[in-house]
């Protein structure tokens, strides 16, 4: 038995072996590379690209796409699959290959209609038949891109301290499943019923510097549509909590796209509509 142990030990690499030293040196270089990637990634994102999920930063697709452009990441995404679930609910799943240089990984993005973001409104259940398939499908796609890009670069577990050191502050009071404690212009009102409403309010507030007139104007611009009777329908800021959750979620998505295209300042109120109705 002792002879076998000696033979087994002779198979181990010596600490001074050149190959082992090279492995250690390369590992150190990789660690430094990841640190540099994190710093560069944070430089191209801002507070609107991050969501506070239970105290942990979650990178949204808007930020992930900025980072992908910075590093030249490419991807190939398959057509989504839709799986029916018990009670009429459904799940969309996307898979894709994300590549950087000679490295490629496979990533998956899924969202279910059972997610409270879609299935709950004003404390009540939303029947699956009233949930927009397009909203769930889009959410699965954004989940995929964020997962693939952050996994490929090794930056999935950012901390609040890392964001703070980069000068990035996530929206105040935006906690998953919680509301803000105050109701000042810059805070999230405590009575907003869902995360979609809270994130919509906070994003408006951050972008418009808590100016409620500008917030109301931009909210009207992005949510306005003409109904079957030819009347304008839109979300009023002071009645935001009464908007349907799916509507608030769609407007939030449109707002994030708007911020991407107009990153420097909030728009001036439109002259034909006068001051916004809060």
CA dist 48 and 19 (Å) reads 45
Mean pLDDT for the stretch of residues 127-139: 86
Q: N- to C-terminal Cα distance for the chain? A: 84
Task: Look at residue 174 in the predicted model and tell me its pLDDT.
Answer: 36
Q: What pLDDT shows up at residue 10?
A: 53
% residues pLDDT > 90 (the chain): 14
Average of per-residue pLDDT across 70-75: 91
Task: Identify any residues that bridge with 58 across adjacent strands, giving them in sequence order.
Answer: 51
E strands, 123-163, in order? 124-125
State yes or no: pLDDT of 245 exceeds 60. Answer: yes
Say what the pLDDT of residue 276 is: 44
| pLDDT at position 49 | 78
**Whole-number Å distance between alpha carbons of 8 and 2:** 10
Nearest to 71 by CA among 32, 38, 105: 38
- Residue 69 pLDDT greater than 80, yes or no: yes
- pLDDT of residue 90 exceeding 90: yes
Say what the pLDDT of residue 264 is: 44
The pLDDT of residue 105: 94
The predicted structure's pLDDT at residue 181? 31
- Write out pLDDT tens, residues 162-198: 888 888 776 543 333 333 333 333 457 767 888 788 8
Looking at the domain 47-170, which fold is it? Enolase-like; domain 1 (3.30.390)
pLDDT at 137 over 50: yes
In the chain, where are the structural domains located?
47-170, 172-278
Reduced to 3 states (helix: H, G, I; strand: E, B; else coil), residue 153 is: helix
**How many CB atoms neighbour CB 68 within 10 A?**
22
Q: Who wins on pLDDT, 221 or 52?
A: 221
Mean pLDDT score, 58-82: 88
DSSP 8-state code for residue 225: E
pLDDT average, residue stretch 73-85: 93
The per-residue pLDDT for 77 is: 93
């Amino acid at each position: 038995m002792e002879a076998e142990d000696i033979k087994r030990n002779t198979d181990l690499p010596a600490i001074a072996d050149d190959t082992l030293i090279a492995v250690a040196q390369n590992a150190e270089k990789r660690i430094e590379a990841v640190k540099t990637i994190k710093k560069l990634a944070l430089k191209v994102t801002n507070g609107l690209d991050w969501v506070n999920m239970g105290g942990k930063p979650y990178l949204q697709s808007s930020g992930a796409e900025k980072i992908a452009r910075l590093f030249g990441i490419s991807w190939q995404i398959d057509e989504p699959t839709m799986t029916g679930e018990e009670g009429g609910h459904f799940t969309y799943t996307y898979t894709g290959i994300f590549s950087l240089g000679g490295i490629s990984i496979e990533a998956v993005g899924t969202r279910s209609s059972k997610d409270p973001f879609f299935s709950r409104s004003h404390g009540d259940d939303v029947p699956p038949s009233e949930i927009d398939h397009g909203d769930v499908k889009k959410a699965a796609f954004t989940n995929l891109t964020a997962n693939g890009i952050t996994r490929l670069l090794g930056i999935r577990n950012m901390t609040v301290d890392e964001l703070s050191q980069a000068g990035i502050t996530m929206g105040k009071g935006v906690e998953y499943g919680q509301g803000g404690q105050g109701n000042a212009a810059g805070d999230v009102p405590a009575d907003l019923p869902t995360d979609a409403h809270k994130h919509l309010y906070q994003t408006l507030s951050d972008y418009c510097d808590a100016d409620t007139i500008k917030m109301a104007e931009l909210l009207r611009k992005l949510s306005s549509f003409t109904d079957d009777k030819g009347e304008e329908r839109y979300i009023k800021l002071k009645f935001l909590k009464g908007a349907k959750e799916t509507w608030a979620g769609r407007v939030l998505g449109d707002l994030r796209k708007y911020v991407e295209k107009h990153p420097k300042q909030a728009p001036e109120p439109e002259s034909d509509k006068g001051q916004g109705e809060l």
